[in-house]
């Protein structure tokens, strides 16, 4: 498949507009080219980080862009995609026009803290994790088989989906014990919710009997 894409030329190197988010350029550096967007697969140590099924579905924080494209026998992918795959931090310095990839600082175990994360693993698919960042085992008691909940709110602040309002849970007591460094993880797929186009907030939290905890939220767009 061929598409036309505006690209940015800098010092003779092509910095495709899909490579970075939030970087602005003058019109003099813009040129339209023909690219190939036929799906391909990229692996890292044998594991796919881009699969043919995901072509055109990478979200750079603002828009959905191609996971990869080819131009003059060269393949281009978003820098942030590679940074995430290599577990690197990425920063942009507009004053020097420099993109930096650096090692992430290791997370030290902290006294008395459950650390939540909500990570997009594929287009519209998220993993909600809660890690024990303390030096002691943490036990969470539950009054049913439910362990977590999540909600989606629209740009007006209206809750358009609440997981627990539709799901059914067994009414049995339960417990989760997290040793230091252990985590609980749950999968969330917003593609299954039938949302209309627009901007939304996804929020997830644990539901122990002592009250909601480890809440975290991320914005996302349905287009």
- Which whole-number Å values give the CA distances from 31 to 68, 72, 97, in the listed order? 19, 15, 19
> Which residues have C-beta within 8 Å of that of residue 105, sequence separation ≥ 6?
none
User: What pLDDT score does 36 carry?
Assistant: 78
Residue 52 has what pLDDT?
A: 61
pLDDT of 72 reads 84
Q: Which pLDDT score is estimated for 97? A: 84
Question: Which pLDDT score, from 0 to 100, does residue 21 have?
Answer: 39
Domain with CATH 2.60.40.2360 in the chain: 114-222
Decide if 204 contacts 216 (C-beta within 8 A).
yes
Question: What is the homologous superfamily of the domain 114-222 according to CATH?
Answer: Intracellular proteinase inhibitor BsuPI (2.60.40.2360)
- Given a cut of 50, the residues of the chain with pLDDT beneath it are 7-25, 55, 107-111
Alpha-carbon separation of residue 165 from 77, 96, 98, 146, 151 (angstroms) = 40, 50, 47, 12, 10
**Residue 179 CA neighbour count, 13 Å, CB half:** 0
The secondary structure of 17-80 as a DSSP string is: TTS-SS----GGGEEEEEEE-----EEETTEEEE-GGGTT-EE-SSSEE-S-EEETTEEE--HH
Q: How many angstroms separate the CA atoms of 29 and 35, rounded?
A: 18
- For residue 81, count other CB atoms closer than 10 A to its CB: 20
Instruction: Record the tokens describing residue 3, joined without a space.
Output: 């598409």
In this predicted structure, what is the pLDDT of residue 108? Answer: 46
Calculate the dihedral angle through the C-alpha atoms of 162, 63, 118, 198, rounding to the nearest 10 degrees. -10
């Amino acid at each position: 498949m061929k598409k036309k894409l505006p690209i940015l030329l800098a010092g003779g190197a092509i910095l495709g507009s899909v490579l970075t988010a939030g970087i602005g350029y003058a019109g003099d550096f813009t040129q339209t080219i023909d690219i190939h967007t036929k799906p391909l697969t990229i692996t890292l140590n044998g594991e796919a980080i881009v699969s043919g099924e995901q072509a055109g579905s990478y979200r750079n924080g603002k828009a959905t862009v191609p996971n990869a494209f080819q131009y003059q026998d060269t393949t281009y992918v978003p820098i942030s995609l590679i940074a995430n795959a290599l577990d690197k931090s990425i920063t942009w310095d507009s004053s020097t026009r420099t993109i930096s990839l650096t090692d992430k600082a290791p997370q030290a175990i902290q006294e008395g803290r459950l650390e939540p994360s909500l990570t997009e693993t594929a287009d519209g698919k998220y993993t909600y994790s809660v890690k024990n960042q303390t030096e002691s085992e943490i036990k969470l008691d539950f009054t049913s088989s439910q362990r977590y909940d999540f909600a989606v709110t629209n740009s007006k602040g209206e809750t358009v989906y609440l997981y627990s309002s539709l799901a059914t849970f067994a009414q049995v007591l339960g417990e989760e014990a997290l040793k230091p460094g252990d985590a609980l993880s749950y999968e969330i797929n917003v593609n299954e919710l039938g949302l209309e186009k627009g901007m939304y907030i996804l929020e997830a939290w644990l539901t122990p009997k002592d009250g909601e905890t480890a809440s975290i939220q991320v914005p996302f767009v349905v287009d």
